[in-house]
């Protein structure tokens, strides 16, 4: 196991991502942050907190469960069973720029599922993808608009984001 | 109210839902947790999600039903499954075909899930032994109506936070009620104390073997309970003369405005529907502020979505392991 990022670096990356998102924001369009369960949810809350300090009126934050939109439901592999959880988005996504947040962008399949789930909730002005870690291995034509850190991980390696809220410690590791 | 959900790793492994008697508390809790994730689908712009896309669900109803049949059909279509309705009236069952022949014919059409209601207790279990499709019991004889038990438990859990330690009365014709039995299993397994209330003629003879208390007086229990579930008097099932008159039944076992005055202020009033207004319950109570009857109907769709999703998931996993 190798540590790619520590707590301080993760913090700094989130600051930078927030700065870039604010810089790109058109003045007349509202933005909102939506995290993919489960670690995307935590990162989304942290990003929304940072964005709310920079944007007047604050930035709403929601959580998206993509289980029902996964493309492997009928061809399950391994021992982990997909568990349906709640989607909690307490605002209208229509006409907003949605910053979709996940911890790692790998195959692109989660992002695809998330986009399908989002457009069943409404019609956002745009969806932008923000990830803490971008690694090689894309299977779908999907790229991040905001990538915090590009990891060089060989196929078969697992890049894991650990956060204190969910894992009790804060680091990005490859194993 | 915030609901405490489980986080520990759990795997759902049943491709049939035949009854709640055989389920563990962890399995029941898992279904309820899953249902919570389906609730919002019915409230949003596009009331549909794709997990059962390309799957075929058959509603195989050998007994009359509107509510349960529609609820299952709605649940299946909100998960993007295709639904075939198959009722006794307009099928070859009325031409003498046996249950198994009917089911095998349906299976030859490539069905994935059979939702079955049958007058004979155990029919869903029998069916599950002979076909490959998933079987979901939508009511069998006087045995079980598991999705009703689940949706009642879900409704209580959502409003009270937990069933642990709650006192629940189920009132009316217990003998002929599969709802009472499934409710009893779901509620007692989740930690509630259940009392069956009704005239002795409508309480099943071997009730002492069930995990419930019994009372023959609604007046004795009304002040103590957190939840009261009023069963429908099912005239179509009643044989003999279980009570002298409808008026007398109402007088002793009806949920009236007067009785409600003695109940806890936050009591939940439930009814599996359809209501005989003025008989088991006065209209003012059915429409009153403690009534959660329509929430039961709404939650029923979410619970049935969860059940259809889970049995299909278990079937997919079983197929993948071959």
**What are the structure tokens assigned to A134, written together?**
């971008």
* Confidence class for position B90, pLDDT limits 50, 70, 90: low
Between chain A and chain B, the number of residue pairs with CB atoms below 8 A apart is: 58
Mean pLDDT of chain B: 93
Do residues B259 and B288 touch, judged by C-beta distance below 8 A? Answer: no
**What are the structure tokens assigned to B309, written together?**
């999703």
Contact B37 A67 (CB under 8 A): yes
Handedness of CA B303, B308, B314, B317 (dihedral sign): negative
ipTM (interface predicted TM): 0.90
User: Minimal Cα–Cα distance from A81 to chain B, Å?
Assistant: 6
**Percentage of chain A with pLDDT > 90?**
87
* Confidence class for position B322, pLDDT limits 50, 70, 90: very low
pLDDT per position as a tens digit, B172-225 = 999 999 999 999 999 999 999 999 999 999 999 999 999 999 999 999 999 999
Taking the Cβ of residue B40 and every Cβ of chain A, the question of whether any pair is shorter than 8 Å is answered with: yes
Across B74-88, average pLDDT: 93
Beta bridge partners of B228: B169, B269
* Confidence class for position B261, pLDDT limits 50, 70, 90: very high
Which domains does chain B show, CATH number per domain? Answer: 25-144+299-320 (3.40.50.1370), 146-297 (3.40.50.1370)
Judge whether residue A131 has pLDDT over 70: yes
Contact A73 B11 (CB under 8 A): no
Contacts of B98 (CB under 8 A, 6+ apart): none
Query: What pLDDT sits at residue B320?
Result: 77
Q: What is the bridge-based pairing of β-strands A159-162 and A171-174?
A: antiparallel
Query: What pLDDT sits at residue B9?
Result: 74
Query: What pLDDT sits at residue B104?
Result: 86
CA B103/CA B108 separation, integer angstroms: 9
Contact A120 B44 (CB under 8 A): yes
Do residues B168 and B229 touch, judged by C-beta distance below 8 A? Answer: yes
Mean pLDDT of chain A: 95
Across B142-151, average pLDDT: 97
CA B171/CA B314 separation, integer angstroms: 36
Residues of A in contact with B317 (CB under 8 A): 76, 81
**What are the structure tokens assigned to B166, written together?**
């709650």
Interface-testing mutation among B26, B76, B317, B319, with chain A (most A C-beta atoms within 10 A): B317
User: Minimal Cα–Cα distance from A108 to chain B, Å?
Assistant: 19
Taking the Cβ of residue B322 and every Cβ of chain A, the question of whether any pair is shorter than 8 Å is answered with: no
Interface-testing mutation among B4, B45, B316, with chain A (most A C-beta atoms within 10 A): B45
Taking the Cβ of residue A87 and every Cβ of chain B, the question of whether any pair is shorter than 8 Å is answered with: yes
Taking the Cβ of residue B320 and every Cβ of chain A, the question of whether any pair is shorter than 8 Å is answered with: yes
pLDDT per position as a tens digit, A84-104 = 999 999 999 999 999 999 999
Taking the Cβ of residue A85 and every Cβ of chain B, the question of whether any pair is shorter than 8 Å is answered with: yes
Taking the Cβ of residue A77 and every Cβ of chain B, the question of whether any pair is shorter than 8 Å is answered with: yes
If contacts are CB pairs under 8 Å, which of residues 109-128 in chain A contact chain B?
A: 116-117, 119-122
Handedness of CA A86, A122, B311, B186 (dihedral sign): positive
Taking the Cβ of residue B177 and every Cβ of chain A, the question of whether any pair is shorter than 8 Å is answered with: no
Interface-testing mutation among B49, B55, B315, with chain A (most A C-beta atoms within 10 A): B49
Interface-testing mutation among B30, B31, B35, B50, with chain A (most A C-beta atoms within 10 A): B50
Do residues A163 and A170 touch, judged by C-beta distance below 8 A? Answer: yes
pTM of the predicted model, to two decimals? Answer: 0.93
Q: What is the DSSP letter of A81?
A: P
Taking the Cβ of residue B313 and every Cβ of chain A, the question of whether any pair is shorter than 8 Å is answered with: yes
Higher pLDDT, A154 or A48: A48
Judge whether residue A17 has pLDDT over 90: yes
Query: What pLDDT sits at residue B94?
Result: 60
CA A167/CA A80 separation, integer angstroms: 18
Contact B37 A69 (CB under 8 A): no
Tell me if residue B309 falls in helix, strand or coil. Answer: helix
CA B279/CA B181 separation, integer angstroms: 22
Which domains does chain A show, CATH number per domain? Answer: 2-70+84-174 (3.40.50.2020)
Across A5-27, average pLDDT: 96
Taking the Cβ of residue B82 and every Cβ of chain A, the question of whether any pair is shorter than 8 Å is answered with: no
* Confidence class for position B8, pLDDT limits 50, 70, 90: low
Contacts of B101 (CB under 8 A, 6+ apart): none
User: Minimal Cα–Cα distance from A80 to chain B, Å?
Assistant: 8
Compute CA A33 distance to the chain's CA centroid, rounded to the nearest angstrom: 9
Edge-first strand order for the sheet with B134-140 is B82-87, B56-61, B113-118, B134-140
User: Minimal Cα–Cα distance from B303 to chain A, Å?
Assistant: 12
Contact B11 A86 (CB under 8 A): no
* Confidence class for position A75, pLDDT limits 50, 70, 90: confident
Judge whether residue B67 has pLDDT over 70: yes
Judge whether residue A38 has pLDDT over 80: yes
**Percentage of chain B with pLDDT > 90?**
81
């Amino acid at each position: 196991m190798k540590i790619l990022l520590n707590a301080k670096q993760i913090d700094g990356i989130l600051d930078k991502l927030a700065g870039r998102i604010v810089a790109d924001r058109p003045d007349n369009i509202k933005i909102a942050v939506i995290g993919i369960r489960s670690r995307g949810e935590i990162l989304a809350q942290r990003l929304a907190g940072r964005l709310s300090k920079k944007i007047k009126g604050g930035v709403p934050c929601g959580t998206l469960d993509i289980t029902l939109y996964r493309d492997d439901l009928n061809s399950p592999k391994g021992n982990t069973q997909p568990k349906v959880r709640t989607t909690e988005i307490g605002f209208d996504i229509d006409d907003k720029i949605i910053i979709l947040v996940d911890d790692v962008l790998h195959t692109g399949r989660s992002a695809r599922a998330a986009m399908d789930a989002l457009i069943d909730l409404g019609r956002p002005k745009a969806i932008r993808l923000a990830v803490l870690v971008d690694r090689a291995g894309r299977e779908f034509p999907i790229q991040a608009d905001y990538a915090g850190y590009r990891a060089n991980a060989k196929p078969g390696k697992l890049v894991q984001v650990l956060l204190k809220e969910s894992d009790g410690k804060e680091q990005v590791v490859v194993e | 109210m915030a609901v405490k959900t489980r986080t520990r790793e759990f795997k759902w492994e049943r491709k049939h839902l035949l009854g709640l008697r055989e389920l563990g508390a962890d399995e029941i809790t898992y279904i309820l947790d899953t249902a919570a994730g389906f609730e919002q689908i019915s409230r949003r712009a596009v009331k549909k999600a794709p997990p059962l896309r390309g799957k075929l669900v058959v509603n195989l109803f050998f007994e009359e039903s509107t509510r349960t049949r529609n609820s299952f059909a709605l649940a299946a279509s909100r998960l993007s499954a295709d639904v075939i309705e198959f009722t006794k009236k307009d099928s070859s069952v009325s031409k003498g075909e046996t249950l198994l022949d009917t089911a095998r014919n349906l299976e030859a059409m490539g069905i994935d899930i059979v939702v079955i209601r049958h007058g004979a207790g155990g029919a869903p279990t029998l069916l599950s032994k002979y076909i490959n499709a998933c079987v979901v019991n939508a009511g069998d004889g006087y045995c079980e109506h598991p999705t009703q038990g689940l949706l009642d438990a879900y409704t209580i859990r959502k409003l009270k936070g937990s069933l642990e330690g709650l006192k629940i009365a189920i009132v009316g014709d217990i003998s002929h009620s599969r709802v009472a039995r499934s409710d009893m299993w779901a509620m007692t397994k989740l930690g509630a104390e259940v009392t069956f209330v009704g005239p002795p003629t409508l309480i099943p003879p071997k009730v002492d073997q069930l995990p419930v208390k019994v009372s023959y007086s609604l007046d004795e229990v009304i002040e103590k309970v957190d939840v009261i579930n009023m069963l429908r008097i099912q005239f179509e099932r009643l044989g003999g003369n279980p009570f002298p008159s409808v008026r007398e039944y109402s007088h002793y076992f009806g949920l009236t405005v007067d009785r409600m005055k003695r109940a806890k202020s936050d009591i939940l009033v439930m009814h599996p529907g359809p209501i005989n207004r003025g008989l088991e319950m006065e209209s003012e109570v059915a429409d009153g502020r403690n009534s959660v009857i329509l929430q039961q109907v709404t939650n029923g769709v979410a619970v049935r979505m969860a059940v259809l999703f889970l049995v299909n998931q278990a079937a997919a996993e079983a197929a993948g392991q071959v």
